[in-house]
A and B are shown apart, each in its own frame.
Chain A
Amino acid sequence: MTDKVDITALAKLARLEVGDAELKKLETEIPAILHFVETIQKANVDAHPSTSSGLKNVMRADENPHETGKYTKTLLDAAPAREGNRVAVKQVISRKK
C-alpha cells in the first residue's frame, strides 16, 4: 500500500529541508520502514477500536496564575533573536507569492 512515498512532499509537511543525496537514501529507507510496520494490517482489532482506549484528557484548572513577567527574561534570553521584550521572527504573511 506504500509503493510510492513522496519524500519531498513529506519533508515539506515536516518543515525539513532534505538534500538530494539524503533524499535518495530516504526513498529506500522510508518505504522499508513502512513496509515493516504494515504487518499490523493483519491484526483483527474489532474488539478494540482505537476509540475504546479508556484514555481521557487531563486539564489543569485555570487558576492561580504566576505574577506577570516572572519568567519573561529567562524565556527571552533563550530566544535566538529578540527585539526589546519580544521574540523576533521573520514576517509570517507576505504579499508576495
Chain B
Amino acid sequence: MDLSTLTITEARRALDAKEYSALDLTNAYLDAIAEKDGEIHAYLEVWADSAREEAKAADAVIARGESQPLTGIPIAVKDNMLIEGRIVSAASKILENYRASYDATVISKLKAQSAVFLGRTNMDEFALGSSTENSAYGPTKNPHDTSRVPGGTSGGSAAAVAAGMALAALGSDTGGSIRQPAALCGVVGLKPTYGAVSRSGLIAAASSLDQIGTLAKNVGDAKILFDAIRGHDGLDSTSLPDDATPEKAERKMIGVPREFLTNLNPEMRAEFKTTLQILKDKGYTLIDVALPSLQYALAVYYIINPAEVSTNLARLDGIRYGLSVPADVIGEVYSKTRAAGFGAETRRRILVGTFVLSSGYADAYYRKARSVRELIRADFEEAFESVDAIVMPTTPSPAFKLGEKNSDPVSLYLEDIFTVPVNLAGVPAISVPGGMVERDGKKLPVGFQIIGTWRGEDTLFKIAANVEL
C-alpha cells in the first residue's frame, strides 16, 4: 500500500476484501510516523500499543462482515478532544498531565465504528494562533518545506495527513484552524456549519465560533469522516437538530467577492483564477457578490475571540485539575498557576479579552463587535439568496517561515482574513488544494475556499469534488 496516495475509500475496499488487515494498515502508519515525525513533529503523543489493539478489534469486526465506513481506519486526533483516560493538553503546559475523564462525543462516535486512534496532534496552545508555533511543545513543520509553518491551529493534524502519517484527522476551527493548515499543507479541510458536529468534550476556545471538523486527502474522505461525527447531541446545547433541511435546487451560481480580494498578491490571484476557470468549465456561472461588512471581520474576530477565550480559560486556575503552583494565599495560586501554565499568546488573548469585556469598554468593543458580527452574517444571508456558494482563497499567502511572524501578533492575525468571516457567520466552508506557488525554489500548496450556506455541506462537497477532479 502506498500511504502517500491511500484514501479512506480505497483502504475500506482493501480491508473488506482482506487484501491487508487493519493491523497491517495501522502498523504501516506507525512505521511512517516513526520514520518521519522526528522531523515534522505532527504528533504530541503516539498511541502505538492501543492503536494495534484497536486495529485487532477492527479486524474482528471486519471478519464478522460488520464493518462500517471507518472500521480499522487510522485517524489522528487534535490534542483538544477528550479520550477517556488519555492525556489531553491543548498543547499547553497548564494541562500537561491532565487525563480526560470522559470521551468527547466525536470520539464515542468513532469508537462505535471501531476506528483506530494513532495519537494526538500538535496545535497552537488552546487553539490560539495560525502557525502551530504557539504550542508549548515546539512547532510542527510543514511537510512541503520543513523551514515553514504548517499553518494552525490544527497544524499537527494537517501535517500528519499531508505526510502520510494518518489517513485522516480531526481538527477544530475557530477562525480558520482547519482550513488554513489544510491549505498550507495541501490537503482538504472542512469546517462544518456551527452546531453540525457536537463539541461535547472539545476543550473550548471561543464557544460562539468553535467547530469540530475534518482533514483528509480528498473531498470524499473529508465527507466520510464528517458523516461519522455529525448529528445532534444533547450534551452540546448549541448542537443543531437532526431534521434535514431540504436541499435547495442547485443553481450552479457561485459568488466571488471581488472587492474583498483587491489586495491579493499576483501569484495567489493567478492560482485562484485558474480554479475559477475550472468551475466555469464545469458549467458554473460566476457572479460578483458584495460582502461590504467583511472589511470589519478581522477586527470583530479579534474582539470576540479573546473575550470568549478569557472567559473560557478562567476555569484553569490550579484548583480542580491541571497544573497547580503552590502559594500562601488562594489568589496567588490562581495567578502563579496561570502565569506558569499559559504561553505568551494565550496570555495576550486573556488580557485583551479582559479589556474588551471590562466595565467602561464593553460597549465600545465587545457589544459593538457583536453588532458588527450581525452585519457580516446578514451580508452572507443576502449573498446566498442568489448563489450556491461563495469562493475565495483560503489564505492571502502560502506557508510562511517558522519565526517570520513571531515579533508582531497583529501581522499573524492578518493571515486569517479569508477564514474568520465564515466562523463569525457560522456557515460551513471547505478548503481544497488550489494550486502551487513557488517560494525559495520550493513549490508550496495554496487553498481554494468554498463557503456554503447554513447546513449546505452537501453543496460544498459537490462543488469541491468538481474543483478536485
Contacts of A52 in B (CB 8 A): 374
The tally of residues in B whose CB lies under 8 Å from a CB in A reads 64
- Kindly state the separation between the CA atoms of A75 and B102 in the bound complex, as whole angstroms: 10
Contacts of A79 in B (CB 8 A): 319-321
- The verdict on B312 contacting chain A, using a C-beta distance below 8 Å, is no
CB pair A58–B410 under 8 Å, yes or no, is no
- The verdict on B160 contacting chain A, using a C-beta distance below 8 Å, is no
If the complex has contacts A10-B354, A36-B302, are A80 and B319 also in contact, measured as CB distance less than 8 A? Answer: yes
CB pair A53–B374 under 8 Å, yes or no, is yes
- Kindly state the separation between the CA atoms of A34 and B353 in the bound complex, as whole angstroms: 10
Dominant SS at the B interface? helix
Contacts of B22 in A (CB 8 A): none
The tally of residues in A whose CB lies under 8 Å from a CB in B reads 50
Shortest Cβ distance from residue B210 to the other chain A in the assembled complex, whole angstroms: 15
Query: Looking at A15, A29, A32, A81, which has the most chain B CB atoms within 10 Å of its CB?
Result: A15
Which residue of the partner chain, among B295, B328, B355, B374, contacts A50 with CB atoms under 8 Å? Answer: B374
In the complex, chain B residues 338-393 whose Cβ is within 8 Å of any chain A Cβ:
338-339, 342, 344, 347-348, 350-356, 358, 364-365, 367-375, 378
- The verdict on B333 contacting chain A, using a C-beta distance below 8 Å, is yes
CB pair A41–B368 under 8 Å, yes or no, is yes
Question: B residues touching A (Cβ–Cβ < 8 Å)?
Answer: 98-99, 101, 234, 237-238, 293, 295-296, 298-300, 302-303, 310, 314, 317-324, 327-336, 338-339, 342, 344, 347-348, 350-356, 358, 364-365, 367-375, 378, 408-410, 413
List the 7 closest pairs (A to B, CB-CB), nearest first. A80-B324, A48-B374, A45-B371, A17-B339, A58-B237, A78-B321, A50-B370
- Kindly state the separation between the CA atoms of A92 and B332 in the bound complex, as whole angstroms: 11
16 chain-A/chain-B pairs, Cβ below 8 angstroms: A10-B351, A10-B358, A11-B335, A15-B335, A16-B335, A17-B332, A17-B339, A32-B408, A33-B413, A45-B375, A49-B371, A60-B234, A78-B98, A78-B320, A78-B321, A87-B319
